[in-house]
Amino acid sequence: MKTIIILLIVLAVIAVAAWKLWKSIHRRPSTVSATTSMAGKKDLATVKRGDRHTAEADFVLGRLVDDGKVTRDFVTADGTGGIVVGPTGSGKTQGIVIPTIVRHKGPLLATSTKSELADLTMSARSRIGSVAVIDPAGVVDGPAAAYVRLWTPLQACKTFNEAALTTALLVEAGGSDSGRTGSSVWTTAAKSLLTTVLWMMRQYDGTALSDVQVMLTALMSEGSEELDAEVPPVPTDFGHLVTWIATHPLGGWDAGIAVCEALAENGKAAILDAQRAAGGLRAVQQISGASETVAGVVFGVQGALLSLVGSEIVWYARWDDPGLIDLAAWASEPAGTIYVVAPDQSDPFRGLFCAFVTAAMSALDQEAWSHQDKRLPNPALFMLDELANVCPLPQLPRWLATKRSQGVKFVLGLQGLGQLWGLWSDSDAEAIINNADAFIVVLSGTQDDKTTDRVEKYSGEYLDRIETVSRSKSRGTSRSMGMSKGDSRSETDSTNWNTSASYRSLVKPAGLFQMAYGRAAVLMPRKKFALVEMVPAHADKELQVLMLPAPPPPAPPVYRPTAPRSRKLGEDATADFFTAS
């Protein structure tokens, strides 16, 4: 019996070996190796199963596609920075932006080109904190219109450093240019003057951007011949201050310098700030002999603010009006929300948007530094959708590298990575991408060269192995005649194997462009390349529960613009905006 069993085992082993040998000889050439760099279920440690998948995840990207099939496993990512790339209509808002906003539990600032984003998510956000909408273009309607709040750049000019940063953003990010030959010279001098004027106005109650023209006109006054006339003290209210500067016997520039010194003496401003402001006025005073030069500088100041004249609600907003948004209060909330709505035609407001987002970051900085560990108790999220079109922040590369220690996260929405090279230097564009430590998601339809090159490079390669098999069989017969007769036969049978191997990119540009709608390619540090099927917000049961209508929160303060000193509200603010030059 044992002999029979052993014999059967030996025969089975021989049969298996013979089958494998036959298969290796007769199989067709293979062009794709079974081993690739595509992530499967076991390759992503952050995949969680089930509908309740977001309890601890920072970001949820969609259901994993494994071997061409959509699984029930959700791909999640942990980190502080992510980039979502996709053309218009690729499902970016429904698949990534809305779910991320709804799931985030800390302070949030979100930019968008439509008020739809606020309409769809503010119910969920209002359950956990306050909601405000920034709409300088006046395009928001629907439910979000009830939450519109105002902001003026003067709110971010309390110190001279803040005023200098705000001015730089209004001039550079806003794309302002004097239009003259050597415009960089005019712009530099104009930024210095505008910084000083905004800082001076911020030290007085009730001032607005519309008062910049009044201040410029007063500063350009030439003074009087009565140099021995008694000069009254510097007024403490802005209305009398402008008249005092305009009628000062030494002229407007000397009067402005005296105002800076008085602000330091009475304790309303820091001494160093007052000295820097006075220095800015002296620099303009030194060229005041050349009227063309001064006119060019003032023209540059007006050009920097011209884009804001069309927004009456921004132009006439008093910085101390109680109806304006309080960024410090937002930063101190556990989960306050701000939506910045920038329609496609809002290019003139780019500088304003950059200044506002920068002021919001400054408020978070101050809040973080008020805690012992210098970190926000609840991580804040900047969801900057349509980043290149809304607010191309000059400081973004540095923020991505440094703000994670304070608990600030970023998700950047782009139509292509190439937009980064159009707005930042090569090194800054690379820094932005390299600091996306959570994920880079590329949606279907993407054809931007910078994006496809990046995905092709970092998705990895697979072994492309080609095997060729050739068989030859010959048979021959020979016969000899003579004294001895004989026959001989020969038969040969040979098989040759040729194998070639090369590495090929796992993802080709055509593959990204031709992906089905809703599919996305995912790159994550220290993880294999993966494909996901995004779950739209309207199809996600968990999100639908969170997005149910919430009870209406208390109504925000109503802002009512105050008529300017020089004209009534509603009149054309651009009529005499250039009279000072």
- Please report, as a single letter, which amino acid is at residue 424: W
Span 290-331, pLDDT tens digits: 555 777 777 778 777 877 887 778 889 999 998 899 999 999
Stronger pLDDT, 132 or 492, i.e. the higher one: 132
User: Can you give the pLDDT at residue 578?
Assistant: 42
- Give the number of residues written for the chain: 581
Is the pTM higher than 0.85? The answer reads no
User: Can you give the pLDDT at residue 473?
Assistant: 63
pLDDT at 183 > cutoff 70 = no
Stronger pLDDT, 454 or 19, i.e. the higher one: 454
User: Can you give the pLDDT at residue 432?
Assistant: 93
Please say whether the beta carbons of 100 and 381 come within 8 A: yes
Please say whether the beta carbons of 48 and 61 come within 8 A: no
Overall average pLDDT of the 455-478 stretch: 66
Overall average pLDDT of the 387-393 stretch: 87
Span 514-530, pLDDT tens digits: 888 888 999 888 888 88
User: Can you give the pLDDT at residue 35?
Assistant: 37
Q: pLDDT category, 419, cuts 50, 70, 90?
A: very high
For strand 69-77 and strand 59-66, is the pairing parallel, antiparallel, or unpaired?
Answer: antiparallel
Find the distance separating the first CA and the last CA of the chain, reported in whole Å.
Answer: 115
Range name among 267-271, 343-347, 450-454, 497-501 with the lowest pLDDT average = 497-501
Percent over 90 (pLDDT), the chain: 32
- Provide long-range contacts, Cβ within 8 A and 24+ apart, for 478-487: none
User: Can you give the pLDDT at residue 209?
Assistant: 92
Listed in sequence order, the residues at least 6 apart from 171 whose beta carbon sits closer than 8 Å to its beta carbon are 187, 190, 191, 194, 304, 351
User: Can you give the pLDDT at residue 79?
Assistant: 86
Stronger pLDDT, 503 or 26, i.e. the higher one: 503
User: Can you give the pLDDT at residue 560?
Assistant: 54
pLDDT, the chain, mean = 80
Overall average pLDDT of the 487-501 stretch: 63
Return the HEC string of 280-314.
Answer: HHHHHHCCCCCHHHHHHHHHHHHHHHHHHHCCHHH
pLDDT at 510 > cutoff 50 = yes
- DSSP structural state of residue 30: -
Q: Which of 150-164, 168-182, 542-556 has the highest mean pLDDT?
A: 150-164
Domains of the chain by residue range: 41-150+323-462+506-546, 155-315
Range name among 219-223, 305-309, 383-387, 463-467 with the lowest pLDDT average = 463-467
User: Can you give the pLDDT at residue 322?
Assistant: 87
Stronger pLDDT, 179 or 92, i.e. the higher one: 92
pLDDT at 166 > cutoff 80 = yes
**How far is CA 275 from each of CA 188, 258, 566, rounded to the nearest angstrom?**
19, 11, 30
Overall average pLDDT of the 259-272 stretch: 92
User: Can you give the pLDDT at residue 574?
Assistant: 43
User: Can you give the pLDDT at residue 464?
Assistant: 58
Listed in sequence order, the residues at least 6 apart from 518 whose beta carbon sits closer than 8 Å to its beta carbon are 91, 95, 444, 533, 534, 536
Rounded distance, CA 398 to CA 41, Å?
35
Q: Which of 495-504, 508-517, 564-573 has the highest mean pLDDT?
A: 508-517
Overall average pLDDT of the 356-367 stretch: 96
What percent of the chain is helix, strand and coil (3-state, nearest 5)? 45, 20, 40
**Exposure string for 100-125, b = 16+ CB within 10 A, e = fewer:** bbbbbebbbbbbbbbbebbbbbbbbb
Rounded distance, CA 287 to CA 96, Å?
54
User: Can you give the pLDDT at residue 175?
Assistant: 54
Q: pLDDT category, 392, cuts 50, 70, 90?
A: confident
User: Can you give the pLDDT at residue 84?
Assistant: 95
pLDDT at 90 > cutoff 80 = yes
CATH topology of domain 41-150+323-462+506-546: Rossmann fold (3.40.50)
pLDDT at 259 > cutoff 70 = yes
Q: pLDDT category, 569, cuts 50, 70, 90?
A: very low
User: Can you give the pLDDT at residue 512?
Assistant: 80
* Helix residue ranges per DSSP H, 203-251: 212-219, 238-246
Overall average pLDDT of the 21-46 stretch: 50
Percent over 70 (pLDDT), the chain: 75
For strand 408-414 and strand 81-85, is the pairing parallel, antiparallel, or unpaired?
Answer: parallel
pLDDT at 361 > cutoff 60 = yes
pLDDT at 177 > cutoff 50 = no
